[in-house]
Amino acid sequence: MDHDRAPAAPRARLTEPGSPVCTPDWLALREPADHEARSAVLAGELDAALGAGSVVIRDLGCGTGSMGRWLAPRLHRPQRWYVHDRDADLAHHASAALPEPATPVVGNVTEVDLGGTDVVVCSALLDLLTGAEIERLADACAAAGAAVLWTLTVSGRVLLDPADPWDDRVAAAFDAHQRRDALAGPDASDLAVAALEHAGYAVRREASPWRLAAGESLAEEWVRGWVDAAAVQEPALAADLDAYLGRRLAQPFAAEVGHVDLLGLPR
């Protein structure tokens, strides 16, 4: 392998490996799959547990507001939303796109004052936090007496059809990339359950996988980003990963990408 060659062009077109900020185009592409994957059962249990009266909800790492657009119609009571993101454009976009009144809040989502909050939600966030940050978040939610619905945490489980001999190698490199710098990555849901239970919550967990049909545009963009992260983690495999991606894109494939949803209710 020629180690002096120029770096390969990014394989993904809408995401950047390791970046905590997502492009609106990527968020729009994944929103239908996110809505289909999230657990309606856990949302219903949250709705039943809240009782009567209005609620204050904080969405951490709101992106363009997909979580609010999915959850708000499932909570049958007046709602006041606060949408938090480190990206000001995303936070303001989300606040304007929710069906309920929403206030944008720009800043670090791990340092939020949760006073007066009834529900704390997030989507595709926990795997980007460290174990210590997850513990602090659980403790802060408990101190506020807030219920939590934390959705679409990557689990590390990936099934591709047709299979390729390199699938497991790519998955291992991707998972290692997710665990860089002490991030929780695919361990996040286990860490979150432990943190919530330690903080006094009753916790329910449900699988919420993406099920992507062959030929879906999301499947192609997801696999590009999946391989990109693997290449960042193991640059010596760049040529092999380019060949793998070429094989994957040469024919349609179906994918099941594992995620987990968590509902935590104060005891």
- Judged against a pLDDT cut of 90, whether residue 11 lies above it is answered with no
Distances in Å between the Cα of 201 and the Cα atoms of 54, 141, 197, 264 are 22, 10, 5, 6
* Domain ranges within the chain, ordered by starting residue: 24-266
Across the chain, the runs of DSSP E, i.e. the strands, are 55-60, 79-85, 102-106, 119-123, 147-161, 201-207, 210-212, 254-266
The string of pLDDT tens digits covering residues 21-62 is: 567 899 999 999 999 999 999 999 999 999 889 999 999 999
- Judged against a pLDDT cut of 80, whether residue 1 lies above it is answered with no
pLDDT (0 to 100) of residue 101 = 85
- Judged against a pLDDT cut of 80, whether residue 68 lies above it is answered with yes
| φ, ψ at 234 (rounded to 5°) | -130, 75
- CATH architecture for the domain at 24-266: 3-Layer(aba) Sandwich (3.40)
Q: What average pLDDT does the segment 102-128 reach?
A: 96
pLDDT (0 to 100) of residue 10 = 57
The string of pLDDT tens digits covering residues 208-259 is: 999 999 999 999 999 999 999 999 999 999 999 999 999 999 999 999 999 9
Which DSSP symbol is given to 118?
Answer: S
Query: Where is pLDDT greater, at 179 or 101?
Result: 179
- Judged against a pLDDT cut of 80, whether residue 15 lies above it is answered with no
Query: Where is pLDDT greater, at 12 or 210?
Result: 210
- Judged against a pLDDT cut of 70, whether residue 14 lies above it is answered with no
The string of pLDDT tens digits covering residues 165-208 is: 999 999 999 999 999 999 999 999 999 999 999 999 999 999 99
Band of residue 7 on the pLDDT scale cut at 50, 70, 90: very low
Q: What is the CA radius of gyration of the chain?
A: 19
Residues 50 and 76: beta-carbon distance below 8 Å = no
pLDDT (0 to 100) of residue 4 = 41
